[in-house]
Each structure stands twice: as C-alpha cells, then as structure tokens.
Amino acid sequence: MAVSFLLVLVLLCGACSAALDFKWNTQPAAGRLEHPGPAPKPQAALQEKQSFREPLSWRYPDPPAEEEPQFPPEFEEKTLSAADSISAVCGENSVWVEANKDLLGIGKPVLAADVTLGGCPAIGENPDAAVLIFESDLHGCGSQLAMSDDSFIYTFTLLYTPSPLGPSEIIRTREVAVDIQCHYQRKHDVSSWVLKPTLSPFSVTKSSEESLYFSIRLVTDDWQSARPSAMYLMGDMMKFEVSVKQFYHVPLTVTVDRCVATVAPNIDTVPRYIFLGNNGCLFDSQLTGSSSRFLPRSQTDKLQFQVEAFRFQEEDNGVIYITCHVRATAATSPVDATNKACSFANGWREASGSHHHVCSCCDSECDSQSQSHLTAKGPQWEQDAAVGPITVEERPL
C-alpha cells in the first residue's frame, strides 16, 4: 500500500516537472530554434442576431435661419418726385400746352385719346419729342376766368382719363387733372413783357407767327433745369438759356443779337447796361474783366451763356431785368458775322468752336453787314424775350 502511494507520487511529480519544463521552454533561448507547438483549434464563431438596442429617432431638419438681405453698397431707394411732363406758353390771346406722352413719368406712354384740354383733344403730336400738343383761345376749352385786384386769371384743366386694360379689372395708371393758369395784368403795356405763364417762373415768353416760341430762363449751376430762385449775390454767375420751340418747323438755330439790363421791365428806361450786342458779341468780359461767356453750343435750338452778377450804382434795391433780342434761322444757315455767339477771353472766340474768324467784327461794327446776308439765308424769325425781376444782393462781410 505504501509502495503504491509512493509510485503514484513519483509519477505525479514527473508530470509536474514536464509541465514546468514546457512552460520554461516556451521562452526561446538565444541562438536556439524552438519548434512551435500545435496550433490552437479555432473557436467556433459566435453569431448574434442583430437587434436595435435603442428605438429609431428621426425628424425633418429645422429650416435655416433667415439671413439679413445684402444690398449693394450703392443701392438707394427711389424717392418720390413729381413728373415734369407738362409745359405751357400763355400768349396774348391763346394758350399752347405740351404734354409728354409719358405723362405720369413711369415709362409708359398714354393714349392720345385719353388726354384732353378741358374736353378738347390734341391738335397734333410731335413724334420726335413724344409730346401731345394742345392749343386754345383764352375763352375756349372749358377755361375759367377769375379776377383779382390787378390780374385776369384764365384756368385750363388738362385731364387724363385712362382707358380700361381690355376685359381685366385692373389698372396701372390713375386719373390725373392738372390746372394750368395764365395770369395777365389788368393794366399793362405790352412792350413791357409782363405776360407770365405760371409754369415758367421768373421768365417771360412771347409767341411769334407760325407757332414759333422764343424764351429765356435762368438755369441752375449744372445747366440742367430751371433755377427756382432769381436771387443772386455779388460774384455769382447768372446763367441763362435761350431757346426756340420749333414744333413742326425744320431744324432751327437760335442766336442772341442783343441783351440789355434795366431796372424796370422796359428797355427804354435808364439806367441801362448793354452787355451783349453787335449781333452776338458778349462785351461784358471785355469791358469789366469778368468771366462772362457763351458756353460751347451743344444743340442748335438752345444757346447758353453766363454773366457775372452786377448791380446799378444808383439803385439800392439791386433789382434788374434782362431783355434780349433773339432770332432763329434755318439750321443749314452758315455761322457768319450776323449769326454768331462770340465771347472775349484773350481774344474773341465763337461758341461753335470752329468759326472764330466771324468774331473779328466785334471790335468794330457787324450790323452793317446784316442786310447783305438776309436774302441768302432765307426765312428767319425774331422776337424779344425777357427775364426778371432778378435781385442781386451784396455779399455779407
């Protein structure tokens, strides 16, 4: 019994030694090649049924945040302004009205049949200028007469009634009624040029025959529009624009033969100052060293010039009137000694820029040559036009 137990213990101890030797020899010694033991058997692949451990959660994405609009740096909203689409000339016995076909200033022409002057249709249309033309006696076309202490006032109404836009119930224009007034002094001398249409402030316009209208007006410093004020300071430039409305005529050229400054609306009063004469010679710069001059001519039916503001020495109120004799000839007429616009600046220069030699007579007498040229030039029209009163104040110190 004891022997058997000892044998079993020896065998067990031999097995433990073999096991310890195997573990020890699993770390290879330097320089000794160890044979790998048998490869472990691959474990069976574990398969697990796929399942969602959390409930599915999804929703539509939120809309993007609203961004502030990015406007271009030069963007400006349009400002409301009245459409400058109607003009009128009040004659001694009639009124002449022009209405731009873009009457509302929105870029859409109106139908001629939709516009009347007190119920009277247009007498014609100027397709080049895109205007409708109306003419009426002072007592015609539904005019209304009112009287004040010193004036007769004739009021006409230019009415626009838009036609329906086909069978639709929409409109893109509106009905418009514009009052046009012609004021006449109850006591006046026609030679004093006091007839003033209310649509042409600070200027006087008189009509000649054959529907030709001459006018002179004060304009702004940029020469683009009528000047809203007739008050100047000493040293300012008074800027004038002379024009002729030609309507159905062939193209015309307007010239200024003579301009006179007076203290009353009558060229026969004294004191007076002739600053332009000799058939288109602007003397003021030569006489006083001022910067008065004609502007280069840009179109034949308009002529622009500037005169440095002045006062008469013996007059304290600084009020002056300017009366000019203007003339129109066919645009085909040549620039010559009687059809010219000459300014003085280190010599005489003509406004056309290429006919300076015609100004050579400004230092002598150009009128003597005029009669020999009238028949060669064909027909011409002339009239007196005036602007005033103009107030020139002393510049404060």
Which tokens sit at 111?
A: 């139908």
Helix (H) / strand (E) containing 152: strand 151-160
Question: CA 256, CA 242: separation in Å to the nearest integer?
Answer: 8
What are the chain's domains?
Answer: 83-199 (2.60.40.3210), 211-397 (2.60.40.4100)
Question: CA 309, CA 319: separation in Å to the nearest integer?
Answer: 11
Q: Residue 37's pLDDT is what? A: 57
User: Which has the minimum average pLDDT: 30-34, 127-131, 264-268?
Assistant: 30-34
Say which residue, 53 or 347, is predicted with more confidence: 347
CA-closest candidate to residue 88, choices 1, 162, 163, 197: 197
Whether pLDDT at 23 is above 70 = no
> pLDDT tens, 65-114?
666 666 566 656 555 455 678 888 887 788 888 888 888 877 788 889 99
| pTM tops 0.85, yes or no | no
| Summary mean pLDDT of the chain | 75
> pLDDT tens, 212-245?
778 899 999 998 888 888 999 888 899 999 988 7
Question: CA 77, CA 293: separation in Å to the nearest integer?
Answer: 39
Q: Residue 326's pLDDT is what? A: 92
> pLDDT tens, 351-387?
988 888 999 899 888 864 443 333 344 567 888 888 9
Exposed / middle / buried, residue 1 (Cβ in 10 Å: 0-12, 13-18, 19+)? exposed
Q: Residue 325's pLDDT is what? A: 92
